[in-house]
Structure formats: structure tokens, C-alpha cells
A = this chain, B = another copy of it.
């Protein structure tokens, strides 16, 4: 009937508007039941469960069998890690797989059969699930004793497929690959030609004293290749040059040519290529988000205009205000936006809305939320007003900064003086006394500020929250110290008591004080600009970080599988394939303690991009390790760092260009989003584009 139809239209409009708010695609089924399923699937609870499942399945690696999650990473000292009984991690995994199965079926159903066949990500998702399940069954049938677990390498895929941003970024990276491959090929040609040159130049001579270069770095083809590859990472520079240079200065020309061509030109060419590819990347992605939003709103308009209440006689389609109000009440959106739209709907006296008016109403979504701080309290007493003026003044804040600086300097002085003292000689009285004074001042400052601004206004500034929180923590620590160890006095050197020693307490307090010093940042203009740029960057980098996690995870798991058991404690050094470690060119003593697997997990779990450079420099003889580390260097260090630089350049240059513009508005604080940064550059989609896209919708049949 017409009523049911109307309900359907209203529901469709609600979902489309929610799609627009979340920048989602509207290409999903639009019948009543599917709409209910869709809203359920995208409800906060469901998405939260999905994220939790992904986190859990990724985190499993930390407790699974060859895990290295122990306090120390040193194989000589560490206790055997906890080994979960067979079936525990497996049953958790099965639960996760079930959630993923539900996820993939709901997703496939919602986009419809036809679209499903076009969607390679969904098919890969199903394939991954099937392979993982098969591997899981194999695992259980071997009672968890099997050596290779393919499903562990496949796990990061679940993270990848869940984020549309990541998929888009990956596509973008993918389109740069041919050019990157050309540069990498060029690097390879460069490397091989120079290797041949080096082998001819530093050949074995009859005089054994003279060919140090040959012995250490250019003994044979793999050695020479490795030496020069490591030189490309600059890790063995200038070690590799020293023997030849001390023989004849002219040899340095070879190394200089190699470094300049390889490092300065070819490596930076990679940066240029990647930057060139990503120059429009942010703008493009924001532009497509805008298109999705406009499309969602237009789709909502179209379905609402087919409601039966609309007078059929109207020349152009329009929407009644009542229907829109109904939709707005049911749609989930930011309450501030909802109120603003309601308000402007009431102010507009007309009964029917055209498409343009409809779009205009929802422009509220694109606007900055102007952050208003609550007013200061108004005091009656003249004295209080004066107090308020004095302590609400910026100068009081500057005074606080100066005091914090003084505190830092005093800590620094004490540290320098105590540097060479034995722990037993150390006298904690001085530091305890001055810290006590400074913390009292911080408390006073906080209280006076609250008095001047009122609690609400005080808490509306993030810098005050940071400040206040640290002050409270410091106060609690200080009170705890005094409660346990008594008040400081000269020669104050109490015994160890309770959870932490006095010395640890004092160190913790000092670290917090150093951390609290960061409150000066918003007071320095250039620093504030840099910090806001970096924060923006972090927002935009989420997709990249996700891909990085995927790559790190895959590398870590591969590394653990490849090098399992390759490292043994220092006692018996000659066991396993890693006994060639001690051939390394610079030293052997310190390097023996470095272990590939713990390094893999350290590098990978942690995220140091450069840590490989040094590991490579010790000339892993083991072939696999070499290939593994070169791949790791290329992907994590070269390509990812260049991607990062490209994004940073993009972001920073945008921000920099707009700096002057912003300074004029400095009175008002905006809650800025990425979308807003580009607002003046974005193009509004035309009505024709929107309608064409709407008519291509696989499930929605529009009347006109």
C-alpha cells in the first residue's frame, strides 16, 4: 500500500542521509529488510565487534608458539615464554573466523549478487577465509605440531579489507609501482655495473699487505654486491672506503661517484616519483568524499520526492518539510548539526523544498564547528574581580611557563652534579625539597586559574586539561612519597619501602615534570604550526599506518618462521647456520648478541625504519637472511619513508600556503577536519553528474 511505500521511502532517505554523513557509498540494496540489516551492520556495536575481532586475531601472534613476548629480548637471560595449550588460540581463531564469515556474507548480500562478482576485494576475502579455515583444520589434526602456518601470514588481510581508505591508498601505491620499478631497475643496473668495476679495481694482488680492500669487502661477487648495497644504505660508509683510501687517495673517486649517483640522484628520484604521484592524492580523495556526500543527500531528496503526499502537479520535484523533519528525527547524526538544520528548516517559511534548497540545508554538515568557551564567572566583590583580572591574564600563563623552565633547569643541574656519584652517595634532599616547592606552585597556579576562569571554562582548553591532570598526578605522587618516606631533610636517604624506591619515585616525578613542560608549545607560534601540521598528518596517515602495520606484521611472521631457532645463547656460538655472524667486518663481540628473529620482531613490532641498516651492515652470510633484509629495507625504509615524505610535503605545503589566511581568523578556534582544509579548492559536483550516478544505482529505481 501507499503507507508501506511511504515508510520504505522514509527509511531509504534516512539511510541515504546517514551514508552522506559517513561518506559511504549508496550502492547497496534498498528494500525494507536490507535497510534494517544495513543499519544494523553499520551500527556502532557491530563495527566495534568487527574491529575488536581484527585486533584479537592480529594480537594472537604475541602469545602463539614461537612468540617472543618476554620482558628481556636476550636469549641468555630470558625465561621460556608462556606456551598456550593446544586448542586455546585455535578456538579463539575459530571464533574470529565465524565473525568474519558473518561479515563477508552480510557485505556480499548488501551489495547484491551482480556487484559481488565485480568486487575483487570481497572474493579475496572469501578465499582468505577458506584458506585460513583449511589451514586451521590441518593445524588441529596435527595437534598444533605442524611447522608452517600459512594463515598467520594471511591475517593482516583482515585489517586491510576492513578499511576503504586503506584500499584506496593501496590502489594509489599500486599505480606508482611501474615507475618505482623502473627506478629500482636503474638502481640494480647501477649496482651491478659498479660491482664489476669494484671487482676489477680491487682485485687480489701478489702483495698481501696491499689488498685489505679485497679481503674484507670485495672477495667475490656476492660479497662485493653486498658491500655496495650496504654502501647504498650508507650504513658502512666510510668503513668500506678506508682501506682503499689509505692506499691511494684516488680510490675515493670510485666511492664518491657511487654514492653521489646512487644515494643523491637515484634514491631521491624515488622521492620525486612518489611525490609526483601523490601530489593530488589528498585533494582527490577529499573530492570523492564530497561527491559521495552530495550523492547521498541527492538520493535522499529523490526518494522523498516520490512520496505520495507530494502534489503531482508541481513542475519540478520537491520534498515536503514534514517528511524531512520525520527523516531528520530518525537519522543518527551529530546533535549540533541536527539542531542547526531543524532551526533553518523552521526559519524557511515555505512548505516545499526544491533540490537546491534541500542540498543547502545539509551544507551545515560541511561547516566548522565553532568552539565556544563557556564564560568566566562574574564576581561581585571588587577584590575578586581584580584577582580574576590578574590570574586570567596571559602573563600569568607565561609566568607559569617560566617557573616550569626553572624547574627543568634545576633538575638538569642536579642530574649533572649527580652524574658520577654512586647511588649510595646520592642525597635526594635537594631535589625532593625543590620539587615539593615547584609542585605546590603548580597546584596554586591551577587553583588560581580555576578561580579566575571557572571550572567549566578552565576545562574547555585542552592545554589546561593536560596541565591540570599532570599537576594532580604529581601531587598524588608527592603525597605518597611523604606518606611512605617522611618529609625530606638533609641526609635524607631512606631504605627501600613499598612498591617503588624513593629514587624511582623521584625519577618518575621528574619525568612527569619534563613532560609537563610541553605545555609551552601552544605559546610559540611556529611550534604550534608545526605541531598542528603533524597532528593533521597523523589523521591523514591512518591509512598509511594501517598498510605499514600490514607489511610489518607479514614481515615479522615470515621472519619468525624463517629464522626460528637460528639463534642460540652465547655459550655455544658455533651451533646453527648463524655461526657465520662473527665474520662481520667491524666487530664480532657485540654483534654476536644480535639475533635475527628478535630483530625481526623488534623492527616489525616496533616500527623503527632504520634499524635494518645496521643489521645489514654486519654482512649476513646466510642467503635467505640477506634476501629477506634487502626486501625489508626496500619496502619499509625506502618506499615507505618516501611515501611519508610525499605526504608530509603535500600536507605541509597546503598548510603553509594557508597560514596567512588563518592568522586573520585567529580569534576563533575551529575544529578542523581534512575535508575543511581543502574547502576553497574543491569542486561541487554538477546536478547532471549526480543524476547520472543515481540512475546507475543497481538497486534503486527512480520514477523519473
Residues of A near any B CB (own CB < 8 A): 69-74, 77, 179, 182-183, 186, 189, 193, 196-197, 199-201, 203-206, 219-221, 234, 237-239, 241-242, 245-250, 252-253, 255-256, 259-260, 263-265, 268-269, 271-273, 275-276, 279, 408, 411-412, 415-416, 419-424, 503, 507, 510-511, 514, 517-518, 526-527, 530, 533-534, 537, 586-587, 590, 593-594, 602, 606-611, 613-615, 641, 644-645, 648-649, 652-653, 656
Q: Which residue of B lies closest to A275 (CB)?
A: B649
Assess the A419–B219 pair: CB atoms within 8 A: yes
Assess the A201–B641 pair: CB atoms within 8 A: no
* Bound complex: CA A630 to CA B242 (Å): 22
Assess the A507–B644 pair: CB atoms within 8 A: no
Assess the B271–A649 pair: CB atoms within 8 A: yes
Tell me how far the C-beta of A208 lies from the nearest C-beta in chain B, rounded to whole angstroms: 10
Assess the B248–A72 pair: CB atoms within 8 A: yes
Question: Known contacts A186-B527, A272-B653; is A586 also within 8 Å of B590 by CB?
Answer: yes
Out of B204, B221, B530, name the residue touching A422 (CB < 8 Å).
Answer: B204
Assess the A221–B419 pair: CB atoms within 8 A: yes
* Bound complex: CA A241 to CA B594 (Å): 11
* Bound complex: CA A203 to CA B272 (Å): 44
> Taking chain A's interface residues, is the majority helix, strand, or loop, or is none over half, making it mixed?
helix
Assess the B263–A221 pair: CB atoms within 8 A: no
Assess the B275–A653 pair: CB atoms within 8 A: yes
Number of copies: 2
Assess the B259–A420 pair: CB atoms within 8 A: no
Question: Known contacts A196-B412, A252-B606, A514-B197; is A245 also within 8 Å of B73 by CB?
Answer: yes
* Bound complex: CA A537 to CA B269 (Å): 12
* Bound complex: CA A424 to CA B206 (Å): 8
Tell me how far the C-beta of A359 lies from the nearest C-beta in chain B, rounded to whole angstroms: 35
* Bound complex: CA A677 to CA B514 (Å): 53
Assess the B614–A238 pair: CB atoms within 8 A: yes
* Bound complex: CA A220 to CA B412 (Å): 11
* Bound complex: CA A581 to CA B265 (Å): 34
Out of B219, B245, B259, B608, name the residue touching A237 (CB < 8 Å).
Answer: B608
* Bound complex: CA A252 to CA B606 (Å): 8
- Provide a sorted-by-A list of 18 A–B residue pairs whose CB atoms are within 8 angstroms: A73-B245, A73-B246, A74-B246, A74-B247, A77-B246, A182-B530, A186-B527, A196-B408, A196-B415, A196-B514, A197-B511, A221-B419, A238-B610, A253-B606, A255-B608, A269-B530, A276-B652, A587-B587
Max chain B Cβ within 10 angstroms of own Cβ: one of A200, A411, A511: A200
Out of B70, B206, B586, B593, name the residue touching A242 (CB < 8 Å).
Answer: B593
Out of B242, B249, B411, name the residue touching A590 (CB < 8 Å).
Answer: B242
Out of B186, B253, B269, name the residue touching A652 (CB < 8 Å).
Answer: B269
* Bound complex: CA A197 to CA B421 (Å): 19
Q: Which residue of B lies closest to A527 (CB)?
A: B186
Q: Which residues of B contact A269 (CB under 8 A)?
A: 530, 533, 648, 652
Question: Known contacts A201-B511, A252-B606; is A268 also within 8 Å of B419 by CB?
Answer: no
Q: Which residues of B contact A649 (CB under 8 A)?
A: 268, 271-272, 275, 649
Q: Which residues of B contact A518 (CB under 8 A)?
A: 193
Tell me how far the C-beta of A66 lies from the nearest C-beta in chain B, rounded to whole angstroms: 16
Out of B74, B242, B260, B423, name the residue touching A204 (CB < 8 Å).
Answer: B423
Q: Which residues of B contact A510 (CB under 8 A)?
A: 196, 200
Tell me how far the C-beta of A332 lies from the nearest C-beta in chain B, rounded to whole angstroms: 36
Question: Known contacts A201-B511, A204-B422; is A593 also within 8 Å of B246 by CB?
Answer: yes
> Which 8 pairs show the lowest CB-CB distances between chains A and B?
A74-B246, A220-B419, A272-B652, A182-B526, A238-B611, A234-B610, A587-B587, A200-B507
Given contact pairs A220-B419, A245-B602, a sample of 15 additional A-B residue pairs in the complex whose CB atoms are under 8 Å apart: A72-B248, A73-B249, A74-B246, A196-B408, A197-B514, A199-B419, A200-B514, A237-B611, A238-B610, A271-B645, A271-B649, A272-B652, A273-B652, A586-B586, A587-B587
